[in-house]
């Protein structure tokens, strides 16, 4: 896995390296045949297990409700009805829910960057007094299972301490708690730690203040980690279910996931499936474009790749 963090330059160049099966064994005729058999089996198994369900959903959406309910199910639709996607869009008012979800995920992303990047920079490069205490208190929150904080955070969001604001039905109920993300701060801090201090000193000698240094020097060279953090944040916000379910009782404000679950019983199955496919497209597109960042995020900060 190619993590994009600096200092980790020594990456395993395993793809061509020696693995469990010895290369000499693979070169024999029997070895070659066995390899082909294993390869084909794995290929077929992976395709059936992971891609076929998606094929089933996309084609299912284009079947008529009668065909969907018939047994045995058809592998290829007898009649194609691609217009069910448009119908689903209209009937479920998907445009509105897409917008809601984009606002929730986009806002969570911006607020997180705005809060976590300066914090990580301050902890890493300015190293204030008691900085380690602050970082430690933040990291402690990682040790709590998320579910354990569900109820008290909900209670807090309904009546913010001191301010006495009720954030229910407001996207801020998602944005603000999301920004309390110790994992992101930790990832960012670790990256900033590896930026040489000399660079910052040089900027300071040139008369740049800390904010300017952060903006003009640190952020441009931190693009890889910012990409990882951004993707992690957006994907998490798009996929989240239980928290949006709690904070958006107003059906018009809900995100796609919450809405789909709510209408699941009443919708004709073909339209529901069409809606599900449409709701997944942004994530799949994101995945295809940002694979590298997503795979890097998978191993960054967790386990040595």
Partner 1 sequence: MPSPRPSDVLDWPAATPRAGRPVATAAERRRSRLRRKIKDNITAYSLLCAAILIFAMFSWYPIVRGVLLSFQQVDFVNPPTWVGFGNFARLFEDPLFGVAWRNTLLFTAFALVFGFAVPFLAAVLLNEIRHARAYFRLAVYLPVMLPPVVTALMWKWFYDPGPGLFNSALNAVGLPGGQWLDSSTTAMLSLVFVSTWANMGSTTLIYLAALQTIPGELYEAAELDGAGMWRRLRHVTFPQTRFVLLVLLLLQIVATMQVFTEPYVMTGGGPDDSTVTVLLLLYRYAFVYNDFGSASAMSLLLFVALGVFSAMYVRLTRRVDA
Q: How many residues contact partner 1, by CB under 8 A?
A: 116
Task: Give the residue from 123, 102, 281, 137 showing the smallest Cα distance to 188.
Answer: 123
Q: Is 171 in the site for partner 1 (CB under 8 A)?
A: no
| Residue of the chain from 44, 54, 86, 289 that contacts partner 1 (CB under 8 A) | 54
Q: Is 238 in the site for partner 1 (CB under 8 A)?
A: yes
| Residue of the chain from 115, 225, 228, 232 that contacts partner 1 (CB under 8 A) | 115
Q: Which 76-105 residues touch partner 1, going by CB under 8 A?
A: none
Cβ 171 to partner 1, closest distance in Å?
Answer: 14
Residue that has been written with the tokens 């448009």 in this structure: 86
Q: Which 191-230 residues touch partner 1, going by CB under 8 A?
A: 197, 200-201, 204-205, 209-211, 214
Q: Is 38 in the site for partner 1 (CB under 8 A)?
A: yes
Q: Is 299 in the site for partner 1 (CB under 8 A)?
A: yes
Q: Is 21 in the site for partner 1 (CB under 8 A)?
A: yes
Are 170 and 157 a contacting pair, CB within 8 Å? no
What is the Cα–Cα distance from 210 to 212, expressed in whole angstroms? 5
Is the Cβ of residue 130 or residue 220 nearer to partner 1 in the bound state? 130
What is the Cα–Cα distance from 174 to 105, expressed in whole angstroms? 9
| Residue of the chain from 218, 234, 256, 274 that contacts partner 1 (CB under 8 A) | 256
| Residue of the chain from 28, 33, 42, 251 that contacts partner 1 (CB under 8 A) | 42
What is the Cα–Cα distance from 114 to 292, expressed in whole angstroms? 24
Task: Give the residue from 52, 124, 57, 94 showing the smallest Cα distance to 277.
Answer: 57
Cβ 74 to partner 1, closest distance in Å?
Answer: 9
What is the Cα–Cα distance from 73 to 167, expressed in whole angstroms? 46
Rounded to whole angstroms, what are the CA distances from 163 to 123, 157, 167, 177? 28, 11, 11, 16
| Residue of the chain from 106, 153, 221, 268 that contacts partner 1 (CB under 8 A) | 153
Q: Is 272 in the site for partner 1 (CB under 8 A)?
A: yes
Q: Using CB atoms within 10 A of its CB, is residue 127 exposed (0-12), middle (13-18) or buried (19+)?
A: exposed
Alpha helices in 92-171 (DSSP H): 94-121, 131-140, 150-158
| Residue of the chain from 62, 97, 113, 116 that contacts partner 1 (CB under 8 A) | 116
Q: Is 165 in the site for partner 1 (CB under 8 A)?
A: no
């Amino acid at each position: 896995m190619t993590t994009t963090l600096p200092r980790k330059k020594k990456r395993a160049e395993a793809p061509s390296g020696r693995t469990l099966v010895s290369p000499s064994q693979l070169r024999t005729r029997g070895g070659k045949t066995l390899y082909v058999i294993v390869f084909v089996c794995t290929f077929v198994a992976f395709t059936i297990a992971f891609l076929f369900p998606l094929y089933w959903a996309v084609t299912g959406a284009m079947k008529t409700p009668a065909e969907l309910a018939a047994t045995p199910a058809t592998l290829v639709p007898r009649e194609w009805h691609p217009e069910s996607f448009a119908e689903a869009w209209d009937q479920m008012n998907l445009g509105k829910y897409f917008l809601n979800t984009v606002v929730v995920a986009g806002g969570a992303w911006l607020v997180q960057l705005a809060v976590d990047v300066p914090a990580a920079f301050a902890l890493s490069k300015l190293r204030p007094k008691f900085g380690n205490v602050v970082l430690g208190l933040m990291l402690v929150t990682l040790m709590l299972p998320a579910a354990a904080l569900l109820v008290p955070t909900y209670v807090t969001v309904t009546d913010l301490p001191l301010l006495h604001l009720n954030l229910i039905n407001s996207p801020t109920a998602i944005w603000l708690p999301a920004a309390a993300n110790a994992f992101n701060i930790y990832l960012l801090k670790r990256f900033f730690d590896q930026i040489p201090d000399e660079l910052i000193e040089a900027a300071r000698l040139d008369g740049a203040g800390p904010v300017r240094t952060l903006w003009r020097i640190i952020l441009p060279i931190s693009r890889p980690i910012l990409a990882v953090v951004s993707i992690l944040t957006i994907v998490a916000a798009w996929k989240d279910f239980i928290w949006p379910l709690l904070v958006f009782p107003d059906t018009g404000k809900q995100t796609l996931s919450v809405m789909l679950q709510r209408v699941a019983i009443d919708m004709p199955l073909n339209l529901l499936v069409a809606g599900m496919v449409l709701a997944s497209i942004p994530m799949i597109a994101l995945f295809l474009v940002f694979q590298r960042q997503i795979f890097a995020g998978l191993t960054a900060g967790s386990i040595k790749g």
